[in-house]
Structure 1
Amino acid sequence: MDVCVYGCAGCGAELTAPVARVPLPPETHLTYGHGWLPPLMEPGTYAVDPEPSGPPYGAFEDLSEAEAEARGLFAPVWPLSFGKSGRIVVAPGDSRGTVLIPEHGGDSCRGVCAGALPTMACAACGLLVASRVDDCGLWQAVWYEPDAVRRMPATAPAPARPSGPVPPVLPDGWWNPRLEAAAGAALAPLLRASGGGPVALPDGAVGDVFGRALRRLLPAGGPAKRAGLAGPGLPGDGLDIALVPYDPATCEPWRPPGGPATVPLPASVWAYLAGPAETSPVPASGTLPHGVLRDDYPLPDHPWELFRPDRRATLRTLARMPEVRLPWLRALYERC
């Protein structure tokens, strides 16, 4: 597991707690509503954004076709960052030894957002090293500038990361945006792997999450490719398309045997999809038939509306696939 601390490139002071690398969450650059969001990253973790991120922003039309392809963009995207690539993101609680400079922030509302200059300086030498983000609608995070910090050996292990499925429904009755974003990002490779034909999904959570979108976007009838879950404990035998988790140790998608097309998911989202259906916490007794649930316990949270993958995550992911230039997939991109 890749565990390190990040230190100031100017004086070497430690600027983070020990952190372990994880994949960049699919919801990273998506905004939600006008309230405060929780931290983007779990404690003790960090991720690296391989693409340009943060200000300044520009128009996709400012790029030539060759420049867009060099950046891995094959369809229009908005907003388009012309900032630095390789920024490192951690939870705010894992930041160390910095001083906030709020006047460097951008046009924020009820918090702080990134501006033209980093909003955090090294407390030891004053080098501008990072930007704090906690404005309404934005995931709380600290983004370190890749040229202002350097990796250093960790003197202690990173804290144990929480494991288990993502809670699908929030206490207020709305779907968890982390699940919506992950499903939206996964929908793009699902569409690519479909080849433009129908896809057969298993019953249960997988069908609930992806079924409506695939029925709207893909034709019905004819031979269908079989999609389902594969991963630890689920070999995925006979699948044409495998929904797989990221390996927490390598940050690479799990590779099932047989070579089906793979659709990666955050481990917590995959765990939710692979979990058992609703079961009674109280053993049924007496003459209740098998499969009948007792009704004398509180039901789990149910959302206000049917599930929809986040369209923005689908578009962001499709735009970065060379296959989006195929006429049938570009037509789906335009429909989304």
Structure 2
Amino acid sequence: MVVFSCAGCAAELTVPVSPVALPVHAHNRYGHALLPPLMRAGSYAVDPEPFGPPWRPWNEAEAEARSLFAPVGLLSHGPAGSIVVAPGDTRGTVLIPERCDGYCYGVDGRDGPNLACARCGLEVGSRIDDCSRWQEVRFLPDSVRFEPAGEPPADDWTVEGVPPVEPSGAWNAYWEAAVGDALARLFAVSGGGTIAVQDGLVADVFGPALALPSSSSPHRALALAGPGEPDADDIALVPRHPVTGRPWPHSGATDVVPLAAEVWTWLAFGQDPVTAPASGVMPVGVLRDDPLPKHPSGPFSPARDVFLHTLARLPAVRQPWLRAIYDRVMAGGPVSRVV
């Protein structure tokens, strides 16, 4: 664990926090409402990409040097390596009033750093909490320092699964983002051929985007692989470690596609307990009022912005067939391999 402090006066700016991989939904905008924090309490992540103003028009030569292989609109020329924490884990900061602009519900950092150290006034980062944005604080990498605070976290693959459906019946936004990221990587390794997926929830969330025609034979097959699962022979859908970001080591598959560990765990093992079959009757005097199993109110739709963000950073997008998909999704089309 570490504590981040001001580079100017050494005032502590966070509680002790532990490093984790940048969440897959960090580049996802969702709905038109106030969203919860991006980061879990007590954690921090480093975003390797530039963030914030100044913004400049797309330039192909410059973009490819930054490992961008398809147009993404304006390019951020802000600092790379910002430290991302939950707003509730910050201490000793104050807002800079003249930089608190946003779209409608809050601030979004469009005017540059909007947080300063309360002790010395140094600009240290930005708070973001506008509508459709996950709440976060991003510290400028050159404006903070950190001090060790305890032992590093253990390399543990035990992760609690996240249910796919909200109580309202909407698909979980985290699932939409995670599958959007995985689909971009799956398209990139597919070579343009059709892909078969195993029945069940994996088919529910991946199948529509893969759009396998009933008259076609699949060229490749996608299957779950990882802790507690058998090896996959072709394309292995494996968990991504929530702390290091590394995919589960898998040597038997032709290609490996990582998926956020919380989503992978539910796909592999999770289920609503009330859906388990039961027999017999309740004991006398025992009352139960179990909720009905949660079912989605509509078909699954991967997050377009996460799909595009990931695909633009994969060299495979330069292939004509995949670039055609990218351009169609960029123009507002659905995330699907059918052009």
Instruction: Using structure 1 for the length normalisation, give the TM-score.
Output: 0.87
Q: Is the 8 A contact 2:274 2:292 kept in 1?
A: no
Q: Is the 8 A contact 2:239 2:264 kept in 1?
A: yes
Letter in 2 for 1:284: A
The answer on 1:323 being equivalent to 2:308 is: no
**Aligned match for 1:70, one of 41, 50, 65:** 65
The answer on 1:195 being equivalent to 2:191 is: yes
**Identity value in percent:** 55
SS in 2 for 1:264: strand
SS in 2 for 1:28: helix
Q: Is the 8 A contact 1:184 1:309 kept in 2?
A: yes
SS in 1 for 2:26: coil
Letter in 2 for 1:22: V
The match for 1:95 is 90
Give the whole-Å Cα distance in 2 for the aligned partners of 1:94 and 1:255. Answer: 33
Cα shift at 1:172: 2.5
The answer on 1:175 being equivalent to 2:171 is: yes
Give the whole-Å Cα distance in 1 for the aligned partners of 2:110 and 2:243. Answer: 34
Letter in 2 for 1:20: S
Letter in 2 for 1:58: R
Letter in 2 for 1:111: G
Root-mean-square deviation (Å): 2.6
Q: Is the 8 A contact 2:235 2:253 kept in 1?
A: no
SS in 2 for 1:252: coil
Letter in 1 for 2:220: K
How many residue pairs get matched?
Answer: 320
The match for 2:221 is 226
The match for 1:303 is 296
The answer on 1:314 being equivalent to 2:312 is: no
Give the whole-Å Cα distance in 1 for the aligned partners of 2:56 and 2:299. Answer: 35
Moved more, 258-267 or 313-322: 258-267
Taking the TM superposition and a 5 Å limit, the aligned residue runs for 1:212-291 are 212-215=208-211, 221-238=216-233, 240-277=234-271, 280=274, 284-285=278-279
| Alpha carbons of structure 1 residues 185 and 281: separation in structure 2 relative to 1, 3 Å | closer
SS in 2 for 1:27: helix
Moved more, 49-58 or 66-75: 49-58
Q: Is the 8 A contact 2:50 2:78 kept in 1?
A: yes
Cα shift at 1:279: 5.6
SS in 2 for 1:271: helix
Which consecutive aligned stretches of 4+ in structure 1 deviate over 3 angstroms post-superposition? 155-158, 276-283
| Alpha carbons of structure 1 residues 223 and 208: separation in structure 2 relative to 1, 3 Å | closer
SS in 2 for 1:66: helix
Give the whole-Å Cα distance in 1 for the aligned partners of 2:303 and 2:89. Answer: 29
Cα shift at 1:249: 4.5
The match for 1:290 is none
Unaligned runs of 5+ in 2: 282-288, 330-339
Give the whole-Å Cα distance in 1 for the aligned partners of 2:70 and 2:195. Answer: 24
Give the whole-Å Cα distance in 1 for the aligned partners of 2:133 and 2:312. Answer: 22
Q: Is the 8 A contact 1:105 1:118 kept in 2?
A: no
Cα shift at 1:308: 1.1
Give the whole-Å Cα distance in 2 for the aligned partners of 1:86 and 1:104. Answer: 21
Moved more, 244-253 or 325-334: 244-253
Unaligned runs of 5+ in 1: 288-295
| Alpha carbons of structure 1 residues 226 and 59: separation in structure 2 relative to 1, 3 Å | same
Letter in 2 for 1:107: G
SS in 1 for 2:317: helix
Give the whole-Å Cα distance in 1 for the aligned partners of 2:169 and 2:98. Answer: 37
Give the whole-Å Cα distance in 2 for the aligned partners of 1:128 and 1:220. Answer: 60
Q: Is the 8 A contact 1:204 1:277 kept in 2?
A: no
Cα shift at 1:236: 2.2
Q: Deviations over 1:206-232 (max 9, x none)?
A: 11110000016x896245212111121
Give the whole-Å Cα distance in 2 for the aligned partners of 1:18 and 1:220. Answer: 57
Instruction: Using structure 2 for the length normalisation, give the TM-score.
Output: 0.86
Give the whole-Å Cα distance in 1 for the aligned partners of 2:69 and 2:215. Answer: 28
Give the whole-Å Cα distance in 2 for the aligned partners of 1:127 and 1:101. Answer: 10
Cα shift at 1:170: 2.1
